[in-house]
Structure 1
Amino acid sequence: MTVIASILVIFSAFLHAGWNLIGKSNQGSGFAFFFTCSVAPAILLTPYLYWFFSQIEFVSLSSYFWLLLSVSGFFQVIYLYGLSLAYQTSDIGVVYPMARALPVLMVGVGTAVLGQSVSFEQWMGFGLITVGCLLTPITHLTQLRMKAYFKRSLLWAFVAAIGTTGYSIIDKTALHELNDNVGEIHSAVYIAIFYLGIQFWAIVLWLSVWFFVSGRRHEFSHAWRFKKKGTIAGVMMASTYGLVLFAMTMVDNVSYVVALRQVSIVFGLVMGIIFLHEKWYPIRGAGVVAVLLGLLISLD
């Protein structure tokens, strides 16, 4: 993994923790806040999408790409759904590490199944990251038992992790497909920005369908109340994942990117303590150390 790719992912991790902090502070908004977060960057990037399409023939994009995009948007909604419900019942210092930790091993297994190599040292690193993140929901080692994790907030954090795992694996494949389709016309940077914008529209579409089907149409009008904070968080969301998508074009194994993104756990924990006045526990400090060690081992 190149130095440039690592810097991009670390900065995106800082932005990721930041928009999650805003999301946690607006926990009472339900799904309307996350709808606004998705609509804002989708609209802002629409002129770029128009320009991108004007440079290529629409049929240049394969049906396989559109399928990948649709599935990725679905997993993004699963992620936002789980995150929204988790933040309503627990601290960011508990939910955020769990939602970020579990995808590490999930993506590792997924990439191995897809035929990409993962060394023993990398598995050790991924395992340390996961163990470190599992320490953060508890306040004492005596609580380190299975029942400590059978809480509603952690269940929804697990749902969010499933969403993260799904879109992380699919997005790498979708970017490769895009490069095969239009790589001779547009550079990797332009392709990453295009995918980012079109993906937000996929999220908006899935959320809209869900609101109509589930009888939650009031979420549309409710979302307008969070237009300012939602737009800020949405821009941060777009920036963080845009950097990640660009970094994905520089690596052969997406699990490296997912692992390095976990440094956002450190940022999230510190932000929660400073801005939301959440409590600090030594066991959480041990968890952060385990995460950092895992990063060093897996990215060596």
Structure 2
Amino acid sequence: MTHFAILLVIFSSLLHAGWNILGKKNTGSSLAFALAASSTISLLLLPYLIWFLSTIGINSLPANFWYLAILTGIAQTVYIMALVTAYQYADIGVIYPIIRALPVLMVAIATTLLGQPSTWLQWLGFGLITIGCVVIPLQRFNQFNIRAYFNKGMFWSLIAALGTTAYSVIDKSALTIITHIADPILANQYSALFYLGIQFMMMLPPLLVCCCYNRNLEPIIQARQIKYSAGLAGIIMGITYCLVLLAMTTTANVSMVVALRQISIVFGLIMGVLFLGEKWYLTRTIGVSLILLGLIASLGLRA
């Protein structure tokens, strides 16, 4: 993983942590928020998408790219809906770190099966990051209870983690296709921005299907009501993930990007203490230390 890619992901994680601090003031359902944010990014980037396709040739992208784009929209929707459902059954302090931690290992396994194996040192790093994510929400170690992880909330958090794993692997494959085609004409950052717009646009049909399937139009109504605040948040989210996509174009193994993104948890904890008056515990010190050691181990052979 190049130093440039590392800096991109770290800066993206800083933005992501900052958005999560602001997001605590968000009102309305997560489905409504996703609809408003996705619609905003899609509309803003629509002229750019048209320009990009006209520049490289509208027929230059193969069918498998569009299949991947559809799949990433579905995977993103699975992640959002499973996340919302998981929070209905379990405490956020249990669910959030699990959803953040599991994709680190899942993506590493997926990329290994796809022919991009990680070294033993990187596997050690992934393991340390995962343990650190689980330790951080605890105030005391004696609070850990394995039974808290055997419930419906854990089941849906696994589904959410699978969604994250799926769109991470799919995004890397789709970006590889588009950068290979566009490279003679446009630089990678143009391709990353194009794919960002496509990704958000492909989220809209599955999200609307969820509303229609449940015969619940309330999220659509709420999306219109929060269109400005959610739209601004969507722009920040778009910038954040665009940096991640750009990092993917310079990195062979996407599991490294997914692992490095967990540094956002460290940033989020620090911001929570500085701006929200949250307390810092010994468990957080150990959890942050494990995450940082895991990042050092996983990036050591590729930095």
- The answer to whether the superposition gives a TM-score over 0.5 is yes
- The residue that corresponds to 1:147 in the other structure is 147
CA distance in structure 2 between the aligned counterparts of 1:278 and 1:225, rounded to whole angstroms? 31
Deviations 1:38-81 (A, max 9, x none): 11111111111111122132221111001101111111112222
The letter of the residue matching 2:125 is: G
SS state at 2:139 partner: coil
User: 1:5-16 residue pairs with structure 2 within 5 A?
Assistant: 5-16=5-16
TM-score if structure 2 supplies the norm length? 0.91
Instruction: Identify if the C-alpha distance between structure 1 residues 284 and 129 changes in structure 2 by more than 3 Å, giving closer, same or farther.
Output: same
Question: Aligned equivalents of 1:286 and 1:83: distance in 2?
Answer: 26
Amino acid at match of 1:240: T
Q: Which is further off, 146-155 or 156-165?
A: 146-155
Give, in angstroms, the shift of residue 95 of structure 1.
Answer: 4.3
Instruction: Single out whichever of 247-256 and 22-31 deviates more from structure 2.
Output: 22-31
- The answer for the alignment partner of 1:175 in structure 2 is 175
Contact kept, 8 Å, 2:36 with 2:224, in 1: the verdict is: yes
- Whole-angstrom CA distance in 2 between matches of 1:98 and 1:43: 33
Match of 2:217 in 1: 217
The match for 2:191 is 191
How far off is 1:217 after superposition? 2.0
Distance (whole Å) between structure 2 residues aligned to residue 269 and residue 126 of structure 1: 20
Q: Are 1:51 and 2:51 an aligned pair?
A: yes
CA pair 87-20 structure 1, distance change in 2 beyond 3 A:
farther
User: Contact (CA 8 Å) 1:272, 1:278: kept in 2 or not?
Assistant: yes
Q: 1:144 to 1:260 in 2, by over 3 A?
A: same
Shift in Å, 1:87? 5.5
Shift of 1:281: 2.9
Q: How many residues align?
A: 300
Asked whether the equivalents of residues 139 and 283 of structure 1 are also in contact (C-alpha less than 8 Å), the reply is yes
TM-score by length of 1: 0.91
In the TM superposition, what is the alpha-carbon distance from 1:18 to its structure 2 partner?
A: 2.5
Q: What is the letter of the counterpart of residue 259 of structure 1?
A: A
Give the C-alpha shift of residue 15 in structure 1.
1.4
Unaligned runs of 5+ in 2: none
Which residue in 1 is equivalent to 2:259?
A: 259
Residue number in structure 2 paired with 1:268: 268
In structure 2, relative to structure 1, the CA distance for the partners of 1:161 and 1:134 (3 Å cut) is same
SS in 1 for 2:40: helix
Per-residue deviation at 1:183? Answer: 2.8
One-letter identity of the residue aligned with 2:25 = S
The answer to which of 232-241 and 73-82 deviates more is 73-82
Which shifted more, 272-281 or 115-124?
A: 272-281
C-alpha distance in structure 2 between counterparts of 1:96 and 1:63, whole Å? 36
Cα distance in 2, alignment partners of residues 269 and 293 from structure 1: 17
Instruction: Name the stretch that deviates more: 244-253 or 225-234.
Output: 225-234
Contact kept in structure 1, 2:42 and 2:198, CA below 8 Å: yes
1:205 matched residue in structure 2:
205
Residue 76 (structure 1) aligns with: 76
**SS of the residue 1:232 aligns to:** helix
Does the CA-based 8 Å contact 2:30-2:80 persist in structure 1?
no
Matched AA of 1:202: M
In structure 2, the CA distance between the partners of 1:18 and 1:83, relative to structure 1 (3 Å rule), is farther
Residues 143, 91 of structure 1: CA spacing in aligned structure 2 closer, same or farther, 3 A cutoff?
closer
Closer, same or farther in 2 for the Cα pair 1:299/1:187, shift >3 Å? same
Q: Offset at 1:105? A: 0.4
Shift of the 84–236 alpha-carbon distance from structure 1 to 2, 3 Å rule, reads farther
Give the distance between the partners of 1:24 and 1:174, measured in 2 at CA.
32
